[in-house]
Structure formats: structure tokens, C-alpha cells
Amino acid sequence: MVLLGTIINGLSIIAGSFIGRLLNRIPDRIKGTVMHAIGLAVMVLGLEMGLKSEQYIIVILSLVFGAVIGELLRLEEYLNALGAWLERKFGGNGQGSVAEAFITATLVFVIGAMAILGALDSGIRGDNTVLYTKSVLDGFTALILSSTLGFGVIFSAVPVVLYEGAIALFAKQINHLIPSSVLNAFITEMTATGGIMIFAIGLNIAGLAKFRVANFLPGIFVVVVFIALLHIYHTIAA
């Protein structure tokens, strides 16, 4: 089954989020320290991913253009409004923390090679091994994030399933249409660009800064444009 790995990944995030919510009743003092610890861990993760870039100018330009697009579209504002509505709908305090939890979890689960390569393996060879491994990692991560950031983490299962599912369903077409060198370049630079965003999220979680990370999200799509243009340029030059 092509989508089995994707479905398992989504269910693991949901299960981890539910378990994490059962563990959220801890003293504020302990929760604050845990939040700092998670923030530091997320910063290290983002830094590690950010350093994978082979063409850092693409990362910089993608973040800059992505930030401009995000600010013009006011993505952070709309996501916070949606998060506040969801929080009131589900009996929260209506302060919009759902949006932060959703964005944080989605970036952590979606950005990186495992999501793309795992979905490609699932679609092309019917091998779900990578996605099964990712499911275990995501389940534990969802547990930790939801115990501190809130139940908004559970909604990240939706974009994860849509993202991985779309890649798995169109894996054979992707494999035929996109040269492996271009796909590898995209994965590398997308991972690095997303890593910088994750680093910013870590700073937010640790309370060291307050970046409007949602407004950086279009940068991921800008990476696609730059990689495509670079490929076209090399093709014409050749």
C-alpha cells in the first residue's frame, strides 16, 4: 500500500500528541525549565540542518524573499487568528498558542530528507522502512512538544500526511521528470532553509527572541524556484 507509511506517520503524531497532553499537568517552574531545554535542543537541530547547505546564497535569498512574501500575505497574523479560533473551539484559553504549536511541529516533521526520501521509497518501491522509522521519531517528538506547547501539535498531522502522501502518490512521475541531481540539490537547500526557521523557533521556545516564523514559510517554495532556475541556467550554458 503506497500510503501506508504516510498514514502510520500521521497516526504516530496524533498518538504522541494525545499522550503528551496527558503529561501537561506539571508545575510551571518545571515546565519553564523544560521549555528552555526543548528550545536549546531545537536550536541545535536547526543549526545542524542549516549547515548542510552547499549553496548558502540560495538559503539567504530564499529566506529574504520568503519573508517579504510572508509579511505581505500576513501569514503569521492569519495563522494566529486561526489558532485562537481553534483554541476557543476546543476549550482553550484563546491566546493563539495553537498556531505556534502547529507551526513548530509542522516544520520539525516536514522539513528534512526523511520525509521526502521516505515518501519516494514508499511510492516507487513500496518500501515504507524510512517512514516507519520517521514515525517513531515523530511520535516521541509530538509527545514532548504537545506536553509543553499544547494540543496544537496534533494538527500538524494534516500537512504531514498531505505532503508525504502527495510525494508518495506522484513518486514515479517525480522520479522520471526531475533529475536526481536537481532533487538532491532541492532536498539539501530546503533542509538548510528550513533548518534556519527551526533555529528561530528554538529561540522563540527558549524565550530568547520572538521571530514571526510563519512569515518565513514561503521561503521553502522560493528554494524550488531558485533550484529550478539554476538547473535551467546550467542546461542552457551546457
Q: What is the pLDDT of residues 49-64, one digit of tens each?
A: 999 899 999 999 999 9
User: What pLDDT is stored for residue 56 in this prediction?
Assistant: 93
Taking residues 156-167, report their average pLDDT: 94
User: What pLDDT is stored for residue 6 in this prediction?
Assistant: 95
In angstroms, the CA 116 to CA 209 distance is 30
Tally of domains in the chain: 1
User: What pLDDT is stored for residue 90 in this prediction?
Assistant: 66
In angstroms, the CA 123 to CA 130 distance is 12
Domain residue limits at 81: 4-237
Helix (H) or strand (E) run with residue 60 in it: helix 56-73
User: What pLDDT is stored for residue 23 in this prediction?
Assistant: 76
Rg (CA), the chain: 18
Per-residue pLDDT of 21-50, as tens digits, reads 887 676 777 777 878 888 898 899 899 999
Please check the confidence at residue 219 and state whether its pLDDT lies above 50.
yes
Exposed/middle/buried for residue 196 (C-beta within 10 Å: 0-12, 13-18, 19+)? buried
CB count within 10 Å of CB 209 equals: 11
Taking residues 184-193, report their average pLDDT: 92
Q: Give backbone dihedrals phi and psi of 212, rounded to 5 degrees, phi first.
A: -85, 75
Percent of the chain with pLDDT over 70: 95
Please check the confidence at residue 207 and state whether its pLDDT lies above 60.
yes
User: What pLDDT is stored for residue 92 in this prediction?
Assistant: 54
User: What pLDDT is stored for residue 34 in this prediction?
Assistant: 79
User: What pLDDT is stored for residue 94 in this prediction?
Assistant: 46
Among 94, 104, 134, smallest CA distance to 205 is for 104
CB count within 10 Å of CB 51 equals: 12
User: What pLDDT is stored for residue 7 in this prediction?
Assistant: 96
Taking residues 117-126, report their average pLDDT: 89
User: What pLDDT is stored for residue 100 in this prediction?
Assistant: 81
Contact 42, 169 (CB under 8 A): no
pTM as predicted:
0.81
Taking residues 144-173, report their average pLDDT: 90
User: What pLDDT is stored for residue 117 in this prediction?
Assistant: 87
Higher pLDDT, residue 91 or 136 = 136
